[in-house]
Chains A and B, each alone.
Chain A
Amino acid sequence: MLGLSSVEYRLMLPMVELGIFALGILMIDLMIPREWKWMNAVGAFVGVLFSALCVFQIQTLFPRGAIGFSYSLLVDRFAIYFWYLFLAGAGIAILMSVRYLDVENEHHGEYYALLLLSVIGMMCMAAGIDIVLIFIGLELMAISTYVLVGFLRRDRRSNEAALKYLLLGAFSSGIFAYGLSLFYGLSGSTNLRSIAQAVSTRNPHDPVVIIAMLTTMVGLLFKIAAIPFHQWAPDAYEGAPTCITGFMSVAVKAAAWAMLLRILVFGLFPLRAVYTPVIVFVSIATMTGANFAALTQTNTKRLLAYSSIAHVGYMLLAFVAMGTSAPNSPAFIDGFKGILVYLLVYTFMNLGAFAVITSLRNRNVIGDELDDIAGLYSRAPVEAVLMLLFLLSLAGIPPAAGFLGKYYIFLSLIESQHYWLAGAAVLYALFGLYYYLKIANAMFMREAMEAERLPISLGMRAALGVTALATLVIGVYPEPFIRSVNWSLGIAQTPHVAAMLK
């Protein structure tokens, strides 16, 4: 009908399906009464599940991946891995949202619709190999998140966050687009592959190349919130509805990383000599700035915002390791794995942490101050312990999952012989532990402000359960997850182990 091949039909199915659900929710929302609004959440969740089902279908049908839409959409294992990640993030975020929106009395279908739409955008970012598609995806995601951030219309902090996010976001994507346009100019194509070929033939010190490179990187680094392009993040995270903060800190970030890897590794890897120095600087700056800033934060959301920036710094270290070593050298592979594993782990542990903070929101408590979480153990022991688990995971203490990410990053750094960077990372790991422990201290070793037990909604229980379980399992038995990462990178299943086990 549309001249779509069955393959392309399959490939776009997850997104289309999400889109249908989004619009459906928008319509149904008009019909259902106030107290039935939670149906929206159910609908959205079902949508996510269906979409995941479709992704699984793709995975089984095209194990080697497939390409469509005139070489713009490449659904390879890498993309599929990230799609699952986005859907997981979205699903958990939905579970977290129900009660929170009730309390905020902002229960509208748009919320879920926008959530799903942003996921569509992310999918495009992860799967696009054509800068046009990538850019569209980016904007789709960005615009929906602008709205989501400002969703609490009556809350000034929310408005302000949205406005700042929008202005800076638009600004950065403008610069980004400028870079992309130059790349188009350099290559005469919008397809990453051909851009890469064209660029690799040019002298890497050609000013145009460099300007294009830099402007593009501004966009990328802005989206993953790396210093000095990070400053939107703390404000947006603090102002946004907590569940959205969680969603942004994992899914949006993962999407940004997917885009970054697509462009810088799949596409412009020939230019790595050009951008790696910048990345080195940025990663160190990011770790330093974020950790120092987080050290004395008293607002939990803001603290976690800075911590997530710091985590970006760590991941960038792995990226440095990749950029400074030959493709398919151990350092490169482990760095790459490191980033993917880190994102996977991070999705669950950070969402978990934000889920706990979300559940602190009550009629009269905003719940994002350190004092609000004080004595949490006496009010909700299970949550407190889970929070401890998430915090330790964020600090990279085994057997929590976070350690796995740290492990790969340190390993890649050592393999690429960046011992000093490794040392710095260690140092900042200490910083991290310090401010995570501040939260832990508040939960376990301080008296609660108000005594009554914390009401935990069903959805929240589910969200916490999933995240905690994932954090623990990935930590204790990471084998299958590592294998899935290997699979997504098309790396042979641990070749050496066979020799080892004989």
Chain B
Amino acid sequence: MAEITTLHYLVVAAALFVLGVIGVLTRRNVVIVLMSIELILNAVNLNLVAFSRMWGNLHGQVFSVFIVVDAAAEAAVGLGILIAFFRNKETINVDEIDLLKW
């Protein structure tokens, strides 16, 4: 059985990334969109960790830790704003966020 090289991680990460992007583009529920974004960030984390293992230094892992924190913060703020939005307009459907345009 072949061992798992960095490349495999990268492919997985890339897949995650693409999935995340597709999620952002297609899902209608704001919460799920936020989760897709998390997906993207996780792809990044995977990359970083894999690379840090490849290079044998810790920079990547440090970076990934920060990104995890950041992702959490973003999610928190996002949900907060979403709630405020929900208060005014009884929906969390992305299609109905269309007051501002043109």
Contact = CB atoms under 8 A, between A and B. Distances in A.
Q: Do chains A and B touch in the complex (CB under 8 A)?
A: yes
A150 B84 CA distance: 9
A167 interface: yes
Contact of A178 (B47, B77, B81): B47
Contacts of A170: 34, 37, 74, 78
Interface string B26-52: 000010011001001101100110111
Given A150-B84, A167-B33, A185-B54, A178 B43 contact: yes
Interface stretch (A156-164, A220-228, A315-323, A358-366): A156-164
- SS class of chain B's interface: helix, strand, loop or mixed? helix
B12 interface: no
Nearest to B101: A235
B66 to A, nearest CB: 6
A83 interface: no
B15 interface: no
A189 interface: yes
A184 B37 contact: no
Interface in A148-193: 150, 153-157, 159-164, 166-167, 170-171, 174-175, 177-178, 180-182, 184-185, 188-190
A146 interface: yes
Interface string B62-92: 1100110010011001101110110111000
B4 interface: no
Contacts of B74: 139, 143, 166, 170
A163 B34 CA distance: 11
Interface string B11-22: 000000100110
Contacts of A180: 44, 63
A454 interface: no
Contacts of A154: 88
Interface residues of B, number: 44
B85 A163 contact: yes
A132 interface: yes
Contacts of A147: 77, 80-81
A155 B89 CA distance: 10
A182 B54 CA distance: 12
Contacts of A16: none
Given A181-B48, A190-B59, A166 B84 contact: no
Contacts of B33: 167
Nearest to A237: B100
B99 interface: yes
A417 B7 CA distance: 44
Nearest to A158: B84
A135 interface: yes
Contacts of A143: 73-74, 77
A136 interface: yes
A334 interface: no
B84 A184 contact: no
Nearest to B74: A170
Contact of A163 (B57, B63, B97, B101): B97
A184 B54 CA distance: 11
A146 B85 CA distance: 13
B63 to A, nearest CB: 5
Contacts of A178: 17, 40, 43-44, 47
Given A132-B66, A150-B81, A238 B100 contact: yes
B64 to A, nearest CB: 8
A239 B59 CA distance: 39
Contact of A185 (B47, B66, B80, B101): B47
Contacts of B80: 147
A181 B63 contact: yes
13 contacts: A136-B66, A153-B87, A156-B89, A159-B85, A163-B78, A163-B85, A170-B34, A177-B67, A178-B40, A180-B44, A188-B51, A188-B55, A190-B63
Given A171-B24, A174-B20, A185-B47, 14 more contacts: A143-B77, A160-B85, A164-B100, A167-B33, A167-B34, A170-B74, A174-B41, A181-B60, A181-B63, A184-B52, A184-B59, A185-B10, A189-B57, A190-B59
